């Protein structure tokens, strides 16, 4: 049976409840935060004060402490002292203006008993009427003692006195909620980062099955999806390989039969068409394989300058017009499969030579990666056609002749390889003329 706390919904609900508690604590703290004004005049009603005085006067001395203790059980704090406290232990009633109108009622109810109203302060307090200075009533009893009465601290007063404690507790709760929230959503972030590579490499390891029940279920579902997509792509590749094998058989037969064509010109054209058909089948099969699996083994740290120099040297040995700009000031290290990098460079150089008459290579660092550009001095491409040049079998030249550009799979293969390595391919026309193909790869 699944645990209740293992559900993302339950955990988020708990986080929400904790946040609401924190909000309530903040509201209470704001409501009782001291602002320098007296909260309330905590004095007993005149009639109650007179009743307490009469009760104490009519009680024998030995029983009087019990009566005081009984009076202390309620909302009032009662104390008996031998005489009126002198100034500076309290301020006179005239210094508390809000009590002035109450003095007359106390005089009538106490029937001539002497009384005072003071704003009591502890020795370390300075405010005469601040929130920590409760107002108290002192009544002289006919027994010679003085009754001191003040209302016990209200809940609001206690909250005000502990505002700092509440603030610290609220901060602790807030930090706790933040940590719990981060811990709860962390597996979702891990899953999102891992899922981004799903389309790049269907042969990558399965996603980690971590976190709460919903996240684990999503990870498992994505793993199943990856395996199914991988199976479908592998089936497609095997189907294309089988078709290519069978087509080569028929193309070989046609090639043999073409030798019996009497017209030499027509025979040569038929042989050329058959050879182009065979090359088209090979290109299609190669594109299908490169688009479905990362070629050339695992990615590794690779210094770019030697690779570019080697590509240029090999092309020059073949007499091709390929150059490289000056080497960058510092080494450029990328994370890429060496075979994939060489395949991308070769395809881009072939395109630049075929359409622009030559290729020029240069590389530079960028934020978080390295850019490799292959430029030519050809006519470029119409701006509206740049976006579709990387589509399979898409060409500016409408024919499919090998001499005029092949089947239109070169740039599609480069884009698939770049994305499989965590990079990208962009095409743009140069301001000086010609086309620039830029491959961006992650830096080490």
pLDDT of residue 374: 93
Residue 18: name the closest of 178, 177, 172, 171 by CA.
177
**Residue 229 near residue 202 (C-beta atoms within 8 A):** yes
* Torsion angle, alpha carbons of 377, 382, 386, 388, to 10: -130
362 Cβ contact list (under 8 Å, min separation 6) = 324, 325, 372, 373, 375
pLDDT of residue 89: 44
Task: Locate the domains of the chain by residue range.
Answer: 4-35+162-193, 46-153, 213-292, 300-442
**Residue 413 near residue 343 (C-beta atoms within 8 A):** yes
CATH 1.10.150.120 fits 300-442, yes or no: no
**CA angle at 358 for the pair 288 and 279, rounded to the nearest 5°:** 30
- Locate 146 and state its tokens: 């003085």
pLDDT of residue 189: 73
pLDDT (tens digit per residue) in 258-313? 888 888 888 888 888 888 788 777 766 666 665 555 454 578 899 988 889 899 99
- As a whole number of angstroms, the distance between CA 106 and CA 114 comes to 10
Give the residues of the chain that fall short of pLDDT 70.
1-13, 26-42, 74-75, 86-102, 119-134, 152-167, 170, 174, 177-178, 197-202, 283-297, 326-329, 392-408
- CA of 356: how far to CAs of 81, 86, 352, 407, 433, in Å? 110, 107, 5, 18, 10
pLDDT of residue 321: 92
Q: Domain 213-292 falls in which CATH fold?
A: Helix Hairpins (1.10.287)
**Residue 280 near residue 400 (C-beta atoms within 8 A):** yes
Is 113 strand, coil or helix?
A: coil
Other Cβ atoms closer than 10 A to 418: 24
pLDDT of residue 439: 94
- CA of 11: how far to CAs of 5, 166, 177, 401, in Å? 6, 25, 11, 63
pLDDT of residue 373: 93
193 Cβ contact list (under 8 Å, min separation 6) = none
Residue 96: name the closest of 127, 129, 54, 74 by CA.
129
Output the furthest CA–CA distance in the chain (Å, rounded). 148
The beta strand positions in 250-378, using DSSP E, are 300-303, 322-324, 333-336, 359-366, 369-375
pLDDT of residue 131: 42
pLDDT (tens digit per residue) in 338-392? 888 988 999 899 889 988 889 999 999 988 789 999 999 888 888 888 878 887 6
Burial 328-355 (b: 16+ CB within 10 A, else e): eeeebebbbbeebbbbbbebbbbbbbbb
The class that CATH gives domain 46-153 is alpha beta
Residue 439: name the closest of 366, 350, 384 by CA.
366
Question: Look-up: residue for tokens 């199943």?
Answer: 224
């Amino acid at each position: 049976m699944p645990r209740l706390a293992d559900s993302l919904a339950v955990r988020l609900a708990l986080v929400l409840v904790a946040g609401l508690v924190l909000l309530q604590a903040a509201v209470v703290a704001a409501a009782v935060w001291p602002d320098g004004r007296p909260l309330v005049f905590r004095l007993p009603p005149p009639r109650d004060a007179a009743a307490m005085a009469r009760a104490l006067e009519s009680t024998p001395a030995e029983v009087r402490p019990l009566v005081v203790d009984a009076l202390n059980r309620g909302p009032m704090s009662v104390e008996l002292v031998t005489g009126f406290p002198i100034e500076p232990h309290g301020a006179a009633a005239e210094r508390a203006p809000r009590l002035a109108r109450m003095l007359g009622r106390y005089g009538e109810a106490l029937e001539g008993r002497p009384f005072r109203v003071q704003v009591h302060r502890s020795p370390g307090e300075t405010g005469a009427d601040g929130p920590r200075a409760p107002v108290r009533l002192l009544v002289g009893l006919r027994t010679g003692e003085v009754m001191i009465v003040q209302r016990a601290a209200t809940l609001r007063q206690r909250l005000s006195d502990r505002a700092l404690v509440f603030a610290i507790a609220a901060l602790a709760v807030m930090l706790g909620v933040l940590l719990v929230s981060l811990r709860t959503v962390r597996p979702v972030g891990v899953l999102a980062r891992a899922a981004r590579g799903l389309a790049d490499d269907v042969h990558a390891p399965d996603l980690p099955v971590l976190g709460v029940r919903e996240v684990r279920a999503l990870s498992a579902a994505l793993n199943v999806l990856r395996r199914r997509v991988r199976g479908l792509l592998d089936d497609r590749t095997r189907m294309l390989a089988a078709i290519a094998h069978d087509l080569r058989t028929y193309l070989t037969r046609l090639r043999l039969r073409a030798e019996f064509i009497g017209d030499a010109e027509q025979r040569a054209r038929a042989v050329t068409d058959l050879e182009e058909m065979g090359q088209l089948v090979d290109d299609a099969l190669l594109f299908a394989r490169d688009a479905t699996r990362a070629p050339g083994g695992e990615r590794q740290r690779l210094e770019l300058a030697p690779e570019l120099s080697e590509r240029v040297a090999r092309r020059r040995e073949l007499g091709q017009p390929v150059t490289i700009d000056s080497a960058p000031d510092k080494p450029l290290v990328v994370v890429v499969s060496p075979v994939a990098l060489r395949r991308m460079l070769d395809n881009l150089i072939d395109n630049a030579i075929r359409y622009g008459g030559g290729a020029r290579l240069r590389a530079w660092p960028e934020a978080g990666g390295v850019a490799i550009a292959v430029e030519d001095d050809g006519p470029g491409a119409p701006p509206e056609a740049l976006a579709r040049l990387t589509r399979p079998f898409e060409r500016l030249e409408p024919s499919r002749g090998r001499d005029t550009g092949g089947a239109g799979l070169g740039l599609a293969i480069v884009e698939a390889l770049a994305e499989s390595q965590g990079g990208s391919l962009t095409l743009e026309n140069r301001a000086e003329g010609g086309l620039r193909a830029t491959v961006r790869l992650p830096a080490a």
